[in-house]
Amino acid sequence: MNIEQLLSRLKQINIYVEEERKQQDGTVALILRGKLPLFPSGGRERWYVLVLEPNQTLVDRSEIEGILRHFWHGSTPFFDDEIDHTGHNVDLIPPE
């Protein structure tokens, strides 16, 4: 998934870029911030650092899944192959 698409989708589930830190070697660290669910965690904030290499435009699915699990969104339909054209979770659609 490209970085712009990833950040847009994360924003839809209330995970935001808190800060962007550029290193001398061209590496960029995006500090993501979000809140855990109110129950059972009390809605406390969490951070995740996504490191991007120079000229990197895509983020691997396994990295994205790690971000989702970190913010307790591991079961949230997020990828195109998990969501049908109507926005529903593909796993929940009964077979015809």
pTM, whole model, 2 decimals? 0.78
CB 76 within 8 A of CB 21: no
Q: What is the residue extent of each domain of the chain?
A: 3-92
Convert the pLDDT of each residue in 23-80 to its tens digit.
Answer: 999 999 999 999 988 888 788 999 999 999 999 999 999 999 999 998 887 677 788 7
| pLDDT classification of 93: cutoffs 50, 70, 90 | very low
Handedness of CA 71, 14, 59, 81 (dihedral sign): positive
**What CA dihedral angle connects 42, 43, 45 and 47, to 10 degrees?**
100
pLDDT recorded at residue 51? 97
Q: Other CB atoms closer than 10 Å to residue 36's CB: what's the count?
A: 16
Cis peptide before 40, with omega less than 30 degrees from 0? Answer: yes
